[in-house]
Structure 1
Amino acid sequence: MRITFLGHAGFAVECAGSVVVMDPWLSPRGAFDSAWMQLPRNHHLAPRVRELLETPGRERYLYVSHEHKDHFDPEFLASLRTRDFTVVIPRFQRSELQDIFARYGCKRVIACEDGREVPIKGGYIKLFVSEQGTNRDSAIMVRGDGQCFVNLNDCKLHDRLARISEEEGPIDLFTAQFSGAIWHPTCYEYTPEAYAAISLKKRESKFEAVARALEVVKPRAYLASAGPACFLDPALFALNLEKVNIFPNATTLFRFLEQRLPGAHTRFLEPMPGDVLDAASLEYVSLDGERLTEEGFESYLRDYAADMAHLFRERRRNMLRAEVDEIHGRLRVELQRKLDLLDLHERVGMPLYVQLTELPERLLRVDFKGRRVDEVAEIRETTRYTMKVSAADMVRVLDRKLTWEDFLLSFRLRLSRFPDVYEPILHGFLGVEIEDMRAFCEGVRSTESQRERTVVTVGNRRFSVQRFCPHQGADLSEGWVEEGRYLVCPRHRWQFDLEDGGRCAMNGSTLCAESVSDKPVAPVTVEEPLAL
């Protein structure tokens, strides 16, 4: 087995008689309306990937893990002329990927349920599918030539890794996301001190999740991938140079892992786009000529930004007041349509204020309990959520050039909330498409209906708790305890205070934790982590 790193979360896995190309993100326009760009740049690999997918003589597979545009690159895929390969995708409730590839014109499309195997010459591909709330993702395993490669990418399967390892046997090479990919706290109006503290906590939480995955999987090598993109839009460029944020590099991760996992037999590898690794020997067959180092990071970025400056000049244009007024009206209609379909609206205890930056005196106030959207001149409440966005960026969502989630991931907005707690229904209201709103509400209810309980042992104390996380249903029996009292969800690292009835301070949800006496139960012992 040979593995070529394609940059970001992309790989080409070559076995005897087969090649599997995973999540090739190669477009020179980046993703999320060019807000995210590949780091290091990898556009020069597009001809090589085309050759892998277009050259006959062996079985060829294209795997796309999910819809996020740093994994699913329509522009690059449209450039493939010969499409006599097989597309392997996860089967989600939302049929967007299936619909797109049904029109794509490839040899065949295999939409896989969770755990489905796809035979290839000398081995097989297996997909692990996860879909909770607004999150849809998948991971892939390729077994061939006596080697096994698992690419978790962004997929939150940490609570299932023990079972996967037990069922599938030894995993030689493993990769999983280690860097943040969300708009909190990036787009929120915090003080610099609060921003740094939140970022550091999130970073360490993500690193701890990787460390625990490696403890479970015990691979021969971990490949750093799905790491940070870079932000070359002049309005976003400063994010690259922040001392502390949720976008650490692989070197920072490796320093953490070396302290967190002393004596581990796993090798930590940071390939550059174009590097080819032999899976058996863990030696590089070839190395790409362009290398990114910590020392040359800022100059590399500035040169990269200069080369891509035309993308952002093309985005700029002045809008007439009449255009802005029209966009304001369309946005109000859009928000009302979303609200009409949000069956869980009464759970949102604060209004949402949406402001087009060109019209600061004409706010849109979303009243969830009253189920109406009104225009107001100012913010009335202290308890509220706010979003500020330019009309030029908002119209791309209204014109369906971006999904709501793609827009949020563009980071071209400012958000604030008071109190500073996560409100999952409001979060879903913003990120979910209109046609998916009812399914989102049904998913929340389905997660909440899971009432199975288990027992967590901490030292000489035992607590009965709900087994499944109320957020998105992760199995908390695979979690861990921090500071002797906080049960941590393995999927999103939410902390539930066992000393406070299992309450999560992030948003007040609870596991209904109760102290229990020694009576016959099936306990789940959760170990304390090593000191961070």
Structure 2
Amino acid sequence: MQVTSVGHAGFLIETNAGSILCDPWVNPAYFGSWFVFPDNSGLDWDALGNCDYLYVSHLHKDHFDPETLRDHVNKDAVVLLPDYPVPDLRRELEKLGFHDFVETTNSVKHRISGPKGDLDVMIIALRAPADGPIGDSGLVVSDGETTAFNMNDARPVELDVLDQFGHIDVHMLQYSGAIWYPMVYDMPARAKEAFGTQKRQRQMDRCRQYIAQVGATWVVPSAGPPCFLDAELRDLNDDHGDPANIFPDQMVFLDQMRQNGHDGGLLMIPGSAADFTGPTLNSLTHPLPIDEVEAIFTTGKADYIAAYAERMAPVLAAEKARWAPAAGEPLLEPLRALFEPIMAATDQICDGIGYPVELRLHSSEYKETVVLDFPKRIVREPIPDEKFRYGFEIAPELVRTVVRDREPDWVNTIFLSTRFKAWRVGGYNEYLYTFFKCLTDERIAYADGWFAEAHDDSASITLDGWEIQRRCPHLKADLSKFGVIEGSTLTCNLHGWQWNLDNGRCLTSRGHELRSSKL
């Protein structure tokens, strides 16, 4: 089996039974904020797209690149489709001309027979509202000799399903940030630095926990970090020694692996190819000499990004030219038409948000404030001197663009761009961000039903002198694997949520109480 990196979470997995192209991403994502790092635009995408199978893990724009799929990927490729609760991914791929689908069943091993031979595949599909745009997934593939687990940026709760394949030879997974927190939040600089430092380490700790659980011989850190080439966002790159930067690169994480006794990490850039026979690494080749590859991440990183930004300036300019103009008719009525039917369709989510939310649409050319009144299920103008628990400031051109384009997901467009500001009183509100990614009837109905289901807290575990429920109240992770206790605070490292064990209160978000008692 040969595994070739094509950038970010993208890989070409070649076997005697056929090739699988995974998550090909080339074009900038999220309003031109994210670029692939290192640059992969020079790869032969027509050759890469001449694949037998296509796997797109989910609809996040750094995994689903419609232009690349449309222009370069073989439309007769068999699509390995995750088992998702809503059919949005299949519909988007059908629009691009793909027509041959294998609909997998979540966490079930499938034998795929093609003209070149048989492959065993399994897709672990995550279905919680917090997983991607209503879904995220990881792919396991075996050619009978070598087994690869491409986890990309999925966060599986149960990994026992991997036992169906025996030993995993190579494991590809995310270790770096893919979020807007804490950078966009209005908070004191020292607090932002502390939260950023904490998040940087926790996301790498979580990755190492997955590596330990899977037990693969070889590990390829992937699915990040993004590269920020817009001058307004350049400081988000981890190229200036900031310990609070949440976007560490592959070299940083490989060093963490070595410090913790794991020497099986592989550095791969777009065009790097690793050839495996079972657990044996036969060869690892790069498109550049190894000292030049390493310099991209170390001594030459800032210069590399500066040159990359200069090359991509026309691409970024073209992206910005597609945005709607900032000035125009008031946005109150378009937002009312967009949001009020969704509000009316949900009880769990509106009640979970619980407060009116301020939406400032401000730029040098245009200023308007709109209130999303979730308790009343209406969109309205603000009341004089009104105070808010949650708020956002977003450039009106971005809002006009997503309204114009009928985007079903502001998280997958505006929020991941980091081109906004946010503030809140109290903890993170999962319901609020779920609302913004569920702007269709199907999505909101599924998400509301998911929240309405009771979480299973019947089983208990003992951890560091406490008896606690086994399943995390957030997304049902097994706390015997992901739980860490410091004093009377429990942290679930799957998403970094915390609880006060003395009273079971969630310290991260409203609700989500935990059952716990001191032994």
Q: What is the TM-score with the length of structure 2 in the denominator? A: 0.89
CA distance in 2, matches of 1:237, 1:378: 37
CA distance in 2, matches of 1:100, 1:82: 16
CA distance in 1, matches of 2:183, 2:385: 23
1:317 CA displacement: 9.0
CA distance in 1, matches of 2:147, 2:323: 53
Corresponding position: 1:338 with 2:331:
no
Comparing 1-10 and 194-203, the one that deviates more: 194-203
Q: What is the TM-score with the length of structure 1 in the denominator? A: 0.87
1:249 CA displacement: 0.9
User: 1:31 is aligned with what amino acid?
Assistant: A
CA distance in 1, matches of 2:175, 2:516: 34
Does the CA-based 8 Å contact 2:484-2:493 persist in structure 1?
A: no
CA distance in 2, matches of 1:515, 1:356: 47
User: 2:155 is aligned with what amino acid?
Assistant: K
**What is the DSSP-based 3-state SS (H/G/I as helix, E as strand, rest coil) of the residue aligned with 2:5?**
strand
1:228 CA displacement: 0.6
User: Which residue pairs with 1:441 in the alignment?
Assistant: 448
CA distance in 1, matches of 2:406, 2:351: 31
Does the CA-based 8 Å contact 1:4-1:274 persist in structure 2?
A: yes
User: Which residue pairs with 1:329 in the alignment?
Assistant: 333
Which among 90, 95, 120 is matched to residue 124 of structure 1? 120
1:17 CA displacement: 3.1
1:316 CA displacement: 5.2
1:37 CA displacement: 0.4
CA distance in 1, matches of 2:393, 2:140: 41
1:52 CA displacement: 4.2
Residues 1:396 and 1:495: Cα distance change in structure 2 (over 3 Å): same
CA distance in 2, matches of 1:423, 1:98: 30
CA distance in 1, matches of 2:323, 2:25: 31
5+ unaligned residues in a row in structure 2: which ranges?
Answer: none
- Indicate the percent of aligned positions where both proteins have the same amino acid: 27
What does residue range 122-521 of structure 1 map to in structure 2 within 5 Å? 122-135=118-131, 136-144=135-143, 146-157=145-156, 159-161=157-159, 163-240=160-237, 241=239, 243=242, 244-259=244-259, 261-262=260-261, 264=262, 266-280=263-277, 281-289=280-288, 291=293, 292-314=296-318, 315=320, 323-344=327-348, 345-358=350-363, 362-376=368-382, 380-381=386-387, 383-400=388-405, 402=407, 403-407=409-413, 408-419=415-426, 421-435=427-441, 436-446=443-453, 448-458=454-464, 461-465=465-469, 467-498=470-501, 500-515=502-517
User: Which residue pairs with 1:529 in the alignment?
Assistant: none
Does the CA-based 8 Å contact 2:332-2:379 persist in structure 1?
A: no
Residues 1:82 and 1:130: Cα distance change in structure 2 (over 3 Å): closer
1:493 CA displacement: 2.7
CA distance in 2, matches of 1:124, 1:228: 30
CA distance in 2, matches of 1:37, 1:514: 44
CA distance in 2, matches of 1:318, 1:130: 32
**What is the DSSP-based 3-state SS (H/G/I as helix, E as strand, rest coil) of the residue aligned with 2:81?**
strand
**What is the DSSP-based 3-state SS (H/G/I as helix, E as strand, rest coil) of the residue aligned with 2:158?**
helix
**What is the DSSP-based 3-state SS (H/G/I as helix, E as strand, rest coil) of the residue aligned with 1:208?**
helix
What does residue range 41-52 of structure 1 map to in structure 2 within 5 Å? 41-45=39-43, 47=44, 49-52=45-48
User: Which residue pairs with 1:524 in the alignment?
Assistant: none
Residues 1:235 and 1:462: Cα distance change in structure 2 (over 3 Å): closer
Residues 1:189 and 1:284: Cα distance change in structure 2 (over 3 Å): farther
CA distance in 2, matches of 1:82, 1:514: 53
C-alpha distance after superposition, 1:464-484 (max 9, x if no partner): 42x322222223333232324
Q: How many residues were matched structurally?
A: 496
Does the CA-based 8 Å contact 1:36-1:231 persist in structure 2?
A: yes
5+ unaligned residues in a row in structure 1: which ranges?
Answer: 518-532
1:165 CA displacement: 4.0
CA distance in 1, matches of 2:358, 2:48: 49
Does the CA-based 8 Å contact 1:91-1:98 persist in structure 2?
A: no
Residues 1:65 and 1:365: Cα distance change in structure 2 (over 3 Å): same
Where in structure 1 do 4 or more consecutive aligned residues deviate above 6 Å?
Answer: 317-321
Comparing 483-492 and 179-188, the one that deviates more: 483-492
Does the CA-based 8 Å contact 1:174-1:223 persist in structure 2?
A: yes
1:39 CA displacement: 0.4
1:196 CA displacement: 1.5
User: Which residue pairs with 2:33 in the alignment?
Assistant: 35
Does the CA-based 8 Å contact 1:33-1:410 persist in structure 2?
A: yes
**What is the DSSP-based 3-state SS (H/G/I as helix, E as strand, rest coil) of the residue aligned with 1:331?**
helix
1:285 CA displacement: 4.7
Residues 1:377 and 1:431: Cα distance change in structure 2 (over 3 Å): same
User: 1:92 is aligned with what amino acid?
Assistant: Y
C-alpha distance after superposition, 1:2-55 (max 9, x if no partner): 11111100111111131111111123xx1123211000000112x2x4324437
CA distance in 2, matches of 1:451, 1:267: 37
User: Which residue pairs with 2:20 in the alignment?
Assistant: 20
CA distance in 1, matches of 2:508, 2:154: 22
Does the CA-based 8 Å contact 1:332-1:364 persist in structure 2?
A: no
C-alpha distance after superposition, 1:454-499 (max 9, x if no partner): 13232xx34142x32222222333323232443332421322232x
Residues 1:449 and 1:311: Cα distance change in structure 2 (over 3 Å): same
1:278 CA displacement: 1.1
User: Which residue pairs with 1:522 in the alignment?
Assistant: none
User: Which residue pairs with 1:527 in the alignment?
Assistant: none
